[in-house]
Amino acid sequence: MTPTGQLHRARRAPIRRRSTHAGRAQRRRALGALCAAVAAVLCVLVPGATPAAAHAALTGTDPAEGSVVQEAPQAVSLTFSEAVQLSDDAIRVLDPDGNDVTKGGAAHVDGNSKTATTALRPGLPDGTFTVVWKTVSADSHPISGAFTFSVGKPSKTTVAVSEAGEDNGSAKALYDTGRYVAYAGFVLLVGGAVFAGVCGGRGRVVRRVASAGWALLFAATVALLLLRGPYTGADFGLDSVRDVLETRPGTALLSRLLLLGAAAVVLAVLFGVYGRENAPGAKGARAKAAARVGGAGADESAEADTDRAAGGDAGSAAADGPDAAGPVAADRADDDAARSRDLAIGLGLGGGVVAVGLAATWGMAEHASTGIQPWLAVPMSMVHLLAVAVWLGGLTSLMLSLRLGPRVPSYVIRRFSRLALTSVTVLAVTGLYQAWRGLGTWGALTDTAYGQLLLVKLGLVAVLITAGWTSRRWTQRLAGSGLSAGAEPAGATAEAPLVHAAATAEADAGAASGSESGSGSDGDPDRAAQLARQRAAVDANRARKERDSDPVRRGLRQSVLVETVLAVVLLSVVTLLTGTQPGRAETEQAAAESAQRQPAGPVKVKIPYDTGGQGGAGTAEITVDPGRTGDNQLHIYLTDANNQLLNVPEVRLSFTLEEKDVGPLAVTPTPVENGHWAATGVQLPMAGEWTLRLTVRTSPIDQATEEKKLTIP
């Protein structure tokens, strides 16, 4: 075809593309509807499933919440379901006037990291005291709360503290955003690098994906390091950063920054030296150069090597060297193969160590590092996170390569398909273990926020696996469509204008300046350059049309795009899960609160008595309502031997908690009606097994005293 014809064809190309515009617009609308539907589902489910940040459960306090003690305690102690980190002001005790009555800072009880205690000043007055506490759980999330107890008897207090405590809402929002960005950066960095190194997709699009992941992870890590202090309740500043670096989360963030420096070197080698060494046609070009040195007949070998290299056969360039190119070419090919192999081994080892180290900065500072079986949970968490990154990051790289880059060789797609299947298998195994560890019981799957989010995640994984299976079927059709390793170089050649169109135009300009002199250009170099650019544009347009018109690849692009959208949503849910209290801890906390705050119902006891006189035998039925620590009402019903209500001149009671050396606490009931006595405001300050001592007088000289044990929860 003449240059004029090519120019006309290039001008007619936009007109021909209009015929497919309507179909593409329809597909975009369908994809937009899918994204909107997924976003709507998240808007409905996620806000309702997101709890306040509380990861270590408060399981006990001393004094107990709401209790009344007769003497002021010397210290206040708290017990949690997992280890906590303390600051000096982790616990504050405020008297009824709002004055802080603590003496010294907070500390662990006998070195137990699941406890916190602070000493109180001596000589505290009677009244209601408010305990305000804040700390950081072992999985790096801040927790806080408040409760009250009374000395002597309850009183009014000027302190008004919300039960959940106070947190910096803006700092928390920014910190949570940074966590989302950090996870996304890790996925893109590791997934893009693995896609390039293992699958062979080292195009510009994949390089940009991995580089963007590195930049996102670096920026998010710096932001998290700066925001960590305000997130846990400290002031923003250098002192806060210094304090953060002394904690486990701060050490993890600093280690992540150092590992990112090593990751930058790995990326530079992967997409630089190693990418050039293994680029399509690179081995053939080196073989041609060696052939010119080694002797005649090497051109054919170099051409063959070029074709094999473009098809992904890394070792074929040196296969025919000794016979075709002579000893010099053979030695050069052997050196190239050895250098490429050594470089691949070094990249694999170095990149693997960096990826595992980055995953460890999450695994050793969050949920997996505390609770049951941390020795197994930490490596399982790291493997799970790496599998997520390889799958979702590689999926993103493949999707962008299919839509924005040149034709992706089929061997790259097949390799990623196998890699994705392996990643999904690893995710299933590690995910089941993490679900069991986080939930604890089947009931937590529906009764806790963690379990509800886990159900959303499982549903998204099921849909994503279905979409992945569709993509795998397209991949199998692609493998059977005739684009085998031997046919791949044609596709690779066809895609070259898409990658190097500008360079091709400039290179052809010089060559065309001489050849066009005899075909109508009169040796005009500007005209030759213009024709070269036109040819490059025509070739690029033809290659793009050929890529877009392939029904198999078009179906693969669409299914991978759906996978990627679902994967982004899934990653968001996973990030929410890491910031949500595990179901096991939430269940423990609910049980502890129920034991401390919920009344067990009225406690009833029957005490037989006999004063020794005529008609002095009978039974006293005593009811303590609501039968818990704090304020109670007391009702006494006296009956004679015939079970008839009996009126007596005097009844007295007392309560003693021997194990805590509390009491006797005297109670003087008053008569209500015949055989019924009552008392209000009966204070039982602590839970435990109390001894109830009852004295009944039936005449001026006849009385009896009996004892009975009763348990106050």
The tens digit of pLDDT for each residue in 178-231 reads: 988 998 999 999 999 999 999 888 888 999 999 999 999 999 999 999 988 888
Question: Do 58-166 and 600-712 have matching folds?
Answer: yes
The chain-wide mean pLDDT, for the chain, equals 74
Give the per-residue pLDDT at 700: 79
Considering only CA atoms, which of 93, 141, 96, 97 is closest in space to residue 119?
93
Q: Which residue has the higher pLDDT, 236 or 381?
A: 381
Structural domain 58-166, CATH architecture: Sandwich (2.60)
**Helix H segments across 550-615?**
551-578, 583-597
686 pLDDT above the threshold of 70? yes
- The residues spanned by each domain of the chain are 58-166, 600-712
d(CA 591, CA 588): 5
Tell me the chain's radius of gyration from C-alpha atoms.
Answer: 38
Please tell me the predicted confidence (pLDDT) of residue 285.
54
Q: How far apart are CA 625 and CA 238, in angstroms?
A: 55
149-175 pLDDT per residue, tens: 888 878 888 877 654 444 566 778 888
Q: What SS3 string covers 261-290?
A: HHHHHHHHHHHCHHHHHCCCCHHHHHHHHH
Q: Is the pLDDT of residue 125 over 80?
A: yes
What torsion do the CA atoms of 68, 73, 75, 79 make, to the nearest 10 degrees? -30
Report the C-alpha gap between 401 and 417 in whole angstroms: 15
Gap between the terminal Cα atoms of the chain: 95
pLDDT at 168: 60
Q: Average pLDDT of 440-449?
A: 76
Q: In what order do the strands lie in the sheet with 670-673?
A: 603-610, 617-625, 630-640, 676-684, 670-673
CB atoms within 10 A of CB 395: 27
Q: What are the structure tokens assigned to 681, written together?
A: 């405001």
pLDDT, tens digit, for every residue of 303-312? 444 444 444 4
Interhelix angle 374-388/410-439, nearest 10 degrees: 150
Asked if omega into 669 is within 30° of 0 (cis), the reply is: no
Q: What is the pLDDT of residue 460?
A: 80
Range 70-75 average pLDDT: 86
Confidence grade of residue 284 (pLDDT, cut at 50, 70, 90) = low
DSSP string, 321-352: HHHHTHHHHHHHHHHHHHHHHHHHHHHHHHHH
- Residue 33, pLDDT score: 47
User: Phi, psi (5° rounding) for residue 61?
Assistant: -140, 155
Return all residues near 389 (Cβ < 8 A) that are at least 6 apart.
186, 187, 189, 190, 191, 194, 355, 359
What integer pLDDT is reported at residue 41 of this predicted model?
41
Dist. CA 316–CA 305, nearest whole Å: 6
In angstroms, what CA-CA distances link 244 with 179, 240, 362? 16, 6, 16
- 507 pLDDT band, cuts 50/70/90, is very low
CB environment 583-613: b (16+ within 10 A), e (fewer): bbbbbbbeebeeebeeeeeebeeebebebee
What DSSP string runs through 217-229? Answer: HHHHHHHHHHHHH
- The partner residues of 666 in beta bridges, in order of sequence, read 654
- pLDDT tier for residue 479 given thresholds of 50, 70 and 90: low
What local confidence, expressed as pLDDT, does residue 162 receive?
Answer: 54
Parallel, antiparallel, or unpaired: how do β-strands 142-151 and 68-69 relate?
A: parallel
- Residue 687 falls in which region: left (phi positive, over 0), alpha (psi -120 to 50) or beta: beta
- Taking the C-alpha atoms of residue 670 and residue 648, their distance in angstroms, rounded to an integer, is 11
Closest by Cα among 700, 450, 294, 196 to 458:
450
Percent of the chain with pLDDT over 90: 12
Residue 40: both structure tokens together: 């709507």
Any idea what the Cα angle at residue 670 is, between residues 669 and 673, rounded to 5°? 125
| Integer Cα distance of 303 and 310 in angstroms | 11
pLDDT tens for 537-569 read: 776 666 666 655 566 666 776 777 777 777 778
Number of Cβ atoms within 10 Å of the Cβ of 439: 21
The set of residues, in sequence order, having a beta carbon less than 8 Å from that of 687 and lying 6+ positions away, is 64, 67, 628, 629, 712, 713
> Does pLDDT of 26 surpass 60?
no
Burial class from Cβ neighbours inside 10 Å (0-12, 13-18, 19+) for residue 113 reads middle
Please state the rounded mean pLDDT for residues 18-33: 49
pLDDT at 112: 86
600-712 CATH pick, 1.20.1600.10, 3.30.70.270, 3.40.190.10, 2.60.40.1930: 2.60.40.1930
Q: Using CB atoms within 10 Å of the CB of residue 208, give its burial: 0 to 12 exposed, 13 to 18 middle, 19+ buried.
A: middle
Tell me the residue type at 638. Answer: L
Is the pLDDT at 448 greater than 70? The verdict is yes
Range 5-31 average pLDDT? 48
For residue 506, how many other CB atoms are within 10 A of its CB?
14
Q: Pick the most confident of 260-274, 603-617, 637-651.
A: 260-274
